[in-house]
Amino acid sequence: MSLTFEFASPAPVPTPAPDRVTLFVDVILPLPLPKLYTYRVPYELNDNVVIGGRVIVQFGAKRTLSCIVAAVHETPPKEYQAKYILEFIDDAPVVTQPQLKLFRWMAEYYMCTLGEVINAALPSALKLSSESRIQLHPVFVAEGSPYPLDDKEQRIVDALGGEDGKALTFTEVGDLLEVASFHKVIKSLMQKDVIFLFEQMADKYTPKVVKKVRLAEHFVTMAAVEQLFDTLASKPKQVDVLLKYLQRVPVHHNEHLNQQGIEKAALTSSPHLSPSAVNTLIKNGILEQFDQIVSRFPLEENPLAQMPFQLSEAQTTARDEVMTLFGQKNIVLLHGVTGSGKTEIYIDLIRNALDGGGQVLYLLPEIALTAQIVTRLMRVFGSRLGVYHSKFSDNERVEVWNGVLSGRFQVVVGVRSAVFLPFDSLSLLIVDEEHESSYKQYDPAPRYNAREVALMIGNFQGAKVLLGSATPAVETFYMARQGRYGLVSLSKRFGEAGMPEIELIDTRKLRADKKMHNHFSSDLLSAMESKIAQQEQVILFQNRRGYAPVIACQDCGYIPKCQSCAVSLSYHKHAHELRCHYCGYHEGMPTQCPACGSRALRTQGFGTEKLEDDLKIMLPQANVQRMDLDTTRAKNAYQQIIGDFEQQKTNVLVGTQMVTKGLDFENVSLVGIVNADAIIHYPDYRAHERAYQMFVQVSGRAGRKGKKGKVLIQTGDPTQVIFDKVIRNDYLEFYAYEIEQRREHEYPPFTRMIKLTVKHMDQELAQKAAILLTQELVDRLGRSVVLGPEPPYIFRIRNFFLQEIVIKLSREHTVLKQAKLDICAAMDIVRDQKEFRQARLVADVDPM
């Protein structure tokens, strides 16, 4: 039978009861559609309608999709005949009311569709479609399943059980069961951990499973344990195993610890214990063996280290100030220098919020969400903590999603997309490193900033929001200065650690004096040498990956460029390739100039790969590792590099901005910024702010525990104003200067910006469309607020020619709201022109 998703039993009832109502639902489809679609609810399923629950509908001729019920009413749509809902999946919401409210706000504020927001929000395993596939779950064992399976479920399991890793599409499942409504069966199997779902073959989920053991449940009381020892008195080997277990998992202090158990291998591979005694205990039902999927965060199992640190006096004062300010304000900025111990303050505040019964969301930039921090939090919050990382597989995300819904996770630490999770009773949100640009999503829509979304969630749910940073965003500090946010400062590092000493190195002068060795000054080299000799570690920062950003022919000047983008190709030595950093295009490194045939091809400039290479020659005694996009593509590569550095297997860590963010290594005493100038001279009004933040943050990695840290900054012009502020670690002075610049040039926080980008494969049409759009905008908003159109610095990416228009608006809410409507209208006019049908128009609100 081929599967059609017609409603299974239309059940035409001849005489409808008089009080019977016809219900309609508006659904959010996970597609960029401008409005919601209305479907009809079959009478007999009126009671099944759940706002925020998923239903299956037919959309278009063939496609069936799951979507979210956003509203229920009795008004049939005017423009079309409503189709019936095919199936109800959930009997409880997967999207909560507060989420729906938030998603609506996001769509409006960020000028996109609700479908785009939902699409970004829901893990794809919650977005069933006819192309979805299922597979047996790796922890499922047919004989030992703790849940009974019904006949339909068993048939699916049998069909999947054949060869290893066999998958079925939904269509195949429908054929197999010979019914159209099978989503409930699938959902039930997923809940029982029998199957899992994935969208594409490439996504196949192969989690790591470990065998663990724990004490069988009825032995978990003090009395039972004592009795157990009595009964085992004549079996010393088994007693040893038990003692070891209790030592690792002190259930007599806290029974809940037993739940997690420990890895079986920790017992069987111990030289002092007998593996067969372990197995006997399992066989006799004293220990219980179970499988657990281990997270990509290798957590130490150390249940004894449950206690968080004792806050220092300065930390206690700051914590108290935050609490007091929360009495008056909803938002507080914690401005604490790098290494001042902000994390411990967060932990204390989280505990407090949890004690009060609320949920907590702790946001971190992707790069700072490491095993380090998760371990620290796990120790305090144990199984109440959910972790939400973008590199997680979809199933792991669904687990967190459901865990938040069910109340299992009361606190979640996550990256920007964690703002989408189904919280409904948050009492605290923390946005650490709130200045970070990685909180902003560039592409695709919604182009949101998780910090701003967090503020809105706080507003909707009546929760407090704590923003933390050593280098707050200028906008944030302005709000604090205005009294809109509370402000708490921590100006000293935790413990004995002082702020690092920062020195400038004048590379132009040194080059003239022949004291530069490639890109290294003798000062930097000798400082590195001496630190390594003292077994201390070094971080080198260069904001460019690859070997060289440009290669050029020495004879004719030819520079290889990307075919699809307006950029030169970067040379990657290891791969022996030229690569485009914008579209991923790559080709082999030519041996001679494609233009004139000369063999004199030289590299210009340098990236992290070249630094790594040079160091291997100049400091052969050092163990150098590189951390950038190229070395961290594999799922665990990033953790690996950080782990090696943490365990001091590596002396020098060379990297892009990845090394600047929130990492806490105790043995780093030297940080080198190899080329500061490229960071300062960037064509953007935020360049100065970004450079300041980067310098201070990367400097902040030095000397965090006791040892005096040193930072060497290489620059061709040490007189640039920014250095002075970095050296004196004077945020206030930086801010005072910067805010005046912003005021003078009417940049945020004094205005709000919306950037519109017009993209077209044809350069001329891109320009024409941009001119028309500008005209339409000027007509509606006035000339003075519309800037452009202008091609951006990189004016062509992935074959699209770009034109940008920037709109600067007053910050008043009503003005903003109206302006967005006007902008949408202007964009629609351009989109409706036949000539520009191939054009793409993108709005980016609060671009970064």
For the annotated binding site for Zn(2+), the residues are 553, 556, 562, 565, 580, 583, 593, 596
With H, G, I as helix, E, B as strand and everything else as coil, classify residue 574: coil
Q: Find residue 517's DSSP bridge partners.
A: 520
Q: In the stretch 475-494, what mask flags binding to ligand ADP with x, by CB under 6 A?
A: -------------------x
CA angle 97, 464, 418 (to 5 degrees): 55
Q: In the stretch 690-709, what mask flags binding to ligand ADP with x, by CB under 6 A?
A: --------------x-----
Q: Using the rule CB under 6 A, is 458 a contact of ligand ADP?
A: no
Q: Using the rule CB under 6 A, is 447 a contact of ligand ADP?
A: no
How far CA 414 is from CA of 122, 333, 419, 835, in Å, comes to 15, 19, 8, 44
Q: Using the rule CB under 6 A, is 338 a contact of ligand ADP?
A: yes
When binding is defined by CB under 6 A, the residue of 340, 625, 667, 669 that contacts ligand ADP is 340
CA 173 to centroid of chain Cα atoms: 33
CA angle 388, 389, 395 (to 5 degrees): 75
Interaxial angle between packed helices 342-355 and 313-326, expressed in degrees from 0 to 180 and rounded to the nearest 10: 50
Q: Using the rule CB under 6 A, is 645 a contact of ligand ADP?
A: no
- Cα separation, 739 vs 586, in Å, equals 42
In whole angstroms, the minimum distance from the beta carbon of 838 to Zn ion comes to: 20
Q: Using the rule CB under 6 A, is 768 a contact of ligand ADP?
A: no
Q: Using the rule CB under 5 A, is 569 a contact of Zn ion?
A: no
When binding is defined by CB under 5 A, the residue of 596, 629, 821, 825 that contacts Zn ion is 596
In whole angstroms, the minimum distance from the beta carbon of 793 to ligand ADP comes to: 33
Smaller CB separation from ligand ADP, 674 or 696: 696
Smaller CB separation from ligand ADP, 387 or 785: 387
Interaxial angle between packed helices 342-355 and 371-381, expressed in degrees from 0 to 180 and rounded to the nearest 10: 30
Smaller CB separation from ligand ADP, 22 or 312: 312
With H, G, I as helix, E, B as strand and everything else as coil, classify residue 324: helix
When binding is defined by CB under 5 A, the residue of 102, 479, 553, 823 that contacts Zn ion is 553
When binding is defined by CB under 5 A, the residue of 454, 593, 753, 770 that contacts Zn ion is 593
In whole angstroms, the minimum distance from the beta carbon of 344 to ligand ADP comes to: 4
- Cα separation, 340 vs 526, in Å, equals 30
E-only strand ranges, 41-194: 54-59, 63-73, 87-88, 133-136, 167-169
The Cβ of residue 806 has, within 10 Å, a number of other Cβ atoms equal to: 16
Smaller CB separation from ligand ADP, 311 or 465: 311
**Which residue stretch of 46-54, 99-107, 293-301, 596-604 sits at the interface with Zn ion (rule: CB under 5 A)?**
596-604
Provide the Cα torsion 93, 99, 105, 106; round to 10°.
-100
In whole angstroms, the minimum distance from the beta carbon of 802 to Zn ion comes to: 13
**Which residue stretch of 86-94, 181-189, 336-344, 586-594 sits at the interface with ligand ADP (rule: CB under 6 A)?**
336-344
Query: Which of ligand ADP, Zn ion, none interacts with 342 (beta carbon under 5 to 8 A by kind)?
Result: ligand ADP
Smaller CB separation from Zn ion, 454 or 565: 565
In whole angstroms, the minimum distance from the beta carbon of 385 to ligand ADP comes to: 17
- Cα separation, 92 vs 798, in Å, equals 43
Q: Using the rule CB under 6 A, is 438 a contact of ligand ADP?
A: no
E-only strand ranges, 444-585: 464-469, 486-490, 501-506, 516-517, 520-521, 537-541, 550-553, 570-572, 577-579
Residues near 485 by Cβ (< 8 Å), separated by ≥ 6? 329, 331, 332, 333, 467, 476, 479
Q: How many residues touch Zn ion (CB under 5 A)?
A: 15
In whole angstroms, the minimum distance from the beta carbon of 315 to ligand ADP comes to: 6
Extract the tokens encoding 620: 């052969």
Phi, psi of 486, deg, nearest 5: -70, 155
Provide the Cα torsion 535, 541, 545, 549; round to 10°.
-120
Q: Using the rule CB under 6 A, is 336 a contact of ligand ADP?
A: yes
Smaller CB separation from ligand ADP, 339 or 422: 339
Closest CA to 110 of 847, 845, 848: 845
- Cα separation, 9 vs 11, in Å, equals 5
With H, G, I as helix, E, B as strand and everything else as coil, classify residue 332: strand
In whole angstroms, the minimum distance from the beta carbon of 429 to Zn ion comes to: 38
Smaller CB separation from ligand ADP, 341 or 788: 341
Q: Using the rule CB under 5 A, is 580 a contact of Zn ion?
A: yes
Extract the tokens encoding 413: 């630490």
Smaller CB separation from ligand ADP, 368 or 553: 368
With H, G, I as helix, E, B as strand and everything else as coil, classify residue 438: helix
Q: Using the rule CB under 6 A, is 315 a contact of ligand ADP?
A: yes
Extract the tokens encoding 467: 């923003």
In whole angstroms, the minimum distance from the beta carbon of 681 to Zn ion comes to: 23
- Cα separation, 389 vs 399, in Å, equals 12
In whole angstroms, the minimum distance from the beta carbon of 520 to Zn ion comes to: 30
Query: Which of Zn ion, ligand ADP, none interacts with 553 (beta carbon under 5 to 8 A by kind)?
Result: Zn ion
When binding is defined by CB under 5 A, the residue of 13, 92, 556, 732 that contacts Zn ion is 556
In whole angstroms, the minimum distance from the beta carbon of 376 to ligand ADP comes to: 7
When binding is defined by CB under 6 A, the residue of 30, 261, 339, 549 that contacts ligand ADP is 339
In whole angstroms, the minimum distance from the beta carbon of 334 to ligand ADP comes to: 9
Alpha helices of 425-552 — where are they, by DSSP H?
A: 450-461, 474-481, 507-512, 522-533
**Residue matched to tokens 């182009």:** 447
In whole angstroms, the minimum distance from the beta carbon of 32 to Zn ion comes to: 25
Q: How many angstroms separate the first and last alpha carbons of the chain?
A: 53
Pairing relationship of beta strands 63-73 and 54-59 according to DSSP bridges: antiparallel
Q: Using the rule CB under 6 A, is 311 a contact of ligand ADP?
A: yes
Q: Using the rule CB under 6 A, is 344 a contact of ligand ADP?
A: yes
Q: Using the rule CB under 5 A, is 761 a contact of Zn ion?
A: no
Q: Using the rule CB under 6 A, is 309 a contact of ligand ADP?
A: yes
Q: Using the rule CB under 6 A, is 116 a contact of ligand ADP?
A: no
**Which residue stretch of 177-185, 333-341, 416-424, 774-782 sits at the interface with ligand ADP (rule: CB under 6 A)?**
333-341
Pairing relationship of beta strands 550-553 and 24-28 according to DSSP bridges: unpaired
> Which amino acid is it at 408?
R
Query: Which of Zn ion, ligand ADP, none interacts with 310 (beta carbon under 5 to 8 A by kind)?
Result: ligand ADP
Instruction: Give just the sign of the alpha carbon dihedral 123, 124, 128, 133.
Output: negative
Is residue 679 within a helix (H) or strand (E), and if so which, with residue range?
helix 677-680
Q: Tally the residues of the chain.
A: 848
When binding is defined by CB under 6 A, the residue of 75, 247, 310, 647 that contacts ligand ADP is 310
Closest CA to 378 of 438, 309, 305: 305
When binding is defined by CB under 5 A, the residue of 535, 598, 604, 833 that contacts Zn ion is 598
In whole angstroms, the minimum distance from the beta carbon of 65 to ligand ADP comes to: 43
When binding is defined by CB under 6 A, the residue of 42, 93, 341, 446 that contacts ligand ADP is 341
In whole angstroms, the minimum distance from the beta carbon of 544 to Zn ion comes to: 16
Query: Which of ligand ADP, Zn ion, none interacts with 580 (beta carbon under 5 to 8 A by kind)?
Result: Zn ion
Closest CA to 427 of 333, 341, 323: 323
Which residues make up the interface to ligand ADP (CB under 6 A)?
Answer: 309-312, 315, 336, 338-344, 494, 664, 704
Which residues make up the interface to Zn ion (CB under 5 A)?
Answer: 553, 555-556, 558, 562, 564-565, 580, 582-583, 585, 593, 595-596, 598
